[in-house]
Chain A
């Protein structure tokens, strides 16, 4: 696979996945309010 295509694909997909996982962890944790 073309290096620039691979870098763009992986960086975007990994970033989005990590953000989603972090946000879901935050949601599933009981709120301090």
Chain B
């Protein structure tokens, strides 16, 4: 059928491949997202839909992505557009593969930023920045860190500096190649990550009430996290949350797995290798991830406060609270714990961002014949171009937009289309043979049925659910007469449903977004704020050039004018980030088309290779 070429680059060892793949999957979400999801979705009962999702969604998609990747790699391609094109001759597939480049650029742009926070927090843990700080001061430190205009640590433009440092490290490792760069890093960082995780889990487990300022034993947190609320299992929200968690934790639908797998040899095992990476990720999530932030936080704050803090997500707990808690453990232990926790996050982050860079580097090689150094530098430039807006306009919502469209919607869409390609266009029989080519272990035949029907249906359900999610994730609202959409559903996002009264790009007035009384007009860290407190509390930033239209004690309604002047609303930044993502998608599509022509022109047997 085709000319079989051995890929030019290949993994140096099986363990290196598995650790690099596991590093791709194990990310910040294992330690910051999973425990929060478990707490919010039924505790110990959450594990049932979670494991079921792993079997019905995670394992099949791992097998599909690994085998698609190896299939394309054997034909000489390492980037998702041409890997997908090598499976089916219809030209549309290489354009669907565009998502495998697009998502990685958009996600890496903000992911490298988060990674740089962890790098910076390792530094601050070592130099003792958090020593003697109160809980509020540690929390405010994070806000100040994100405000790139003013430095409170003495390092000018600290957030940007660490971001560029982090990106530079990624570029350097990528440019060193597969074996000397990615594989070597995985072999060092992954064991360290597990070691740091086990150390922190041990510390959390042995936390004793009355010692080091703790008010509860660490066991209380574990008990809280694992106590099952079986009634939650009747709620579709819990099942969708479990499916979503499995999907994101395994880095599915991104194109990274296909890219890494494309460096396998024709008869390299897929079944055992993919299962090992999948279960290593589960080990890091279920065993280590569940044993750190919740037990430690509950040990100091108690259950009620942690429930409240958890409602803001894992980042709040991780960056705003844990440095303060570690500082209670004495001089030496606080440094060790800070380095271990943020080092663990950094290792999990960098092994994932390297995986995101790989499809881009591979694409430039496939399409334009660029070498690794040149492609790695190009990757760095693109990420800097798209990443700086997330750093500079973080509080205006650019970061969230990238995360929503590229980090959530595009992944589900891509995975849905690739499983359809594999099971229905390539055919599940052919696909099954592909999975087992050179395998050391046979998968149960039950998975053949799952691959053909269950996984595609589940992905379609997940996609439809994110499209039409009802208000407050309350699925009992579903009705043939229609229902009110949640602000986070795709349709509501597109309609700017939750944007509030400041819904124009430019305006002469800024309107209140909550109702209550003006209870504070204050200046903090060179910034001016008006705080409106009522049923909810919200602080609005205004600039010195703006004219205040309210006074202390005034009652304000939603939509009432707070200040006047020349105002650029957040919706402008939101729309600009959406526009840049759309332009990026189109731009990659054009590059894929040009690259396809180059491949056809450059290789004598290109027709064989591509069709």
Which of A's residues lie within 8 Å of B, judged by CB? 1-2, 4-6, 8-9, 12-13, 16-17, 19-20, 23-24, 26-28, 31-33
Contacts and interface: CB of A to CB of B under 8 A. Distances in A.
Contacts of A12: 47, 51, 286
A4 B228 contact: yes
Interface in B254-309: 267, 269, 272-273, 275-276, 279-280, 282-283, 286-287, 290
B286 A1 contact: no
A25 B71 CA distance: 27
B440 A26 contact: yes
Given A4-B228, A12-B47, A27-B14, A33 B438 contact: yes
A2 B229 CA distance: 12
Nearest to A29: B440
B311 interface: no
Given A31-B440, A33-B267, A5 B223 contact: yes
A11 B85 CA distance: 43
A23 B276 CA distance: 6
B10 to A, nearest CB: 16
Nearest to B280: A20
Given A20-B276, A23-B279, A4 B44 contact: yes
13 contacts: A1-B223, A2-B223, A4-B44, A4-B227, A4-B228, A5-B223, A8-B226, A13-B286, A26-B276, A27-B14, A27-B272, A31-B440, A33-B440
B579 interface: no
A14 to B, nearest CB: 9
Contact of B44 (A5, A28, A31, A32): A5
Measured as residues with beta carbon below 8 angstroms from the partner, the interface class of chain B is: 20 to 34
Contact of A17 (B219, B287, B438, B441): B287
Contacts of B227: 2, 4-5
A30 to B, nearest CB: 10
B15 A19 contact: no
Nearest to B223: A1
Contacts of B44: 4-5, 8-9
A27 B272 CA distance: 8
B322 interface: no
Contacts of B219: 1
B502 to A, nearest CB: 45
A23 B223 contact: no
A2 B45 CA distance: 14
Interface of B: 14-15, 18, 43-44, 47, 51, 219, 222-223, 225-228, 267, 269, 272-273, 275-276, 279-280, 282-283, 286-287, 290, 438, 440-441
A16 B286 contact: yes
A28 B16 CA distance: 11
Nearest to A26: B272
A27 B440 CA distance: 9
A1 to B, nearest CB: 5
A24 B276 contact: yes
A27 B21 CA distance: 14
B438 A8 contact: no
Contact of A9 (B222, B272, B438): B222
Contacts of B222: 1, 5, 9
Given A5-B226, A33-B267, A16 B287 contact: yes
Contacts of A32: 440
Contacts of A23: 272, 275-276, 279
A4 B44 CA distance: 8
Nearest to B439: A33
Contact of A19 (B43, B228, B279, B441): B279
Q: Which 4 A-B pairs have the closest CB atoms?
A: A5-B226, A8-B44, A23-B276, A5-B227
Given A16-B283, A23-B279, A31 B226 contact: no
Contacts of B226: 2, 5-6, 8-9
Contacts of B279: 16, 19-20, 23
A28 B273 CA distance: 11
A20 B441 CA distance: 15
A17 B201 CA distance: 15
Given A1-B219, A4-B228, A9-B222, A27 B15 contact: yes
B313 to A, nearest CB: 23
